[in-house]
Amino acid sequence: GNVGDCLSLLCLPQSKKSKRVDRVIEMSKAHRSTDPEEIKRIVDAGGVIHNNRAFGVLEPSRTIGDLEVKLLCKGGLISKPYIQMFSLPMPSIYYESNPDVIMKKYMPFVIMASDGCWDILKSSQAIKICKKSIKAKVKSKSA
């Protein structure tokens, strides 16, 4: 789960041999003042959205802090997290031969980052960067 504009992705890499695309699961939801559901919630609580910002100040529509803004309108800016639960199947890649190599090359990973990352990178770009970094690390350890 999450609160605010930090997001996390789970990447389940696939082998090139399997010719399947990596499975990516968005594990969070951005709470932004531009989201129609969040706008409705804030306005229904008596708050305002000005210049795509809650109360004209904050881009995230949910935060843990920002008490001074929360005091402007009870229920307008909240800390209630987005929670998602799911079970993950073991990717078929793990059933292939040589588990040591597979675990190093195709280990699932999570990317957790703030809006500073997601405002600049698409999910696919962040995953590509992480996979390249993991691959370089595996190469350096096996050399």
More confident residue, 84 or 63: 63
- Supply the pTM of this predicted model: 0.70
- If we measure between CA atoms, which residue out of 134, 130, 132, 108 comes closest to residue 121? 130
Render pLDDT for 19-39 as a digit per residue (tens, 0 to 9).
667 788 888 888 999 999 999
CA distance 106 to 119: 27
Scored b (16 or more CB within 10 A) or e, 67-93 reads eebbeeeeebbbeeeeeeeeeeeebeb
Terminal-to-terminal C-alpha distance of the chain: 38
Render pLDDT for 80-139 as a digit per residue (tens, 0 to 9).
988 888 777 665 555 455 555 555 556 788 899 988 898 899 988 999 898 888 777 767
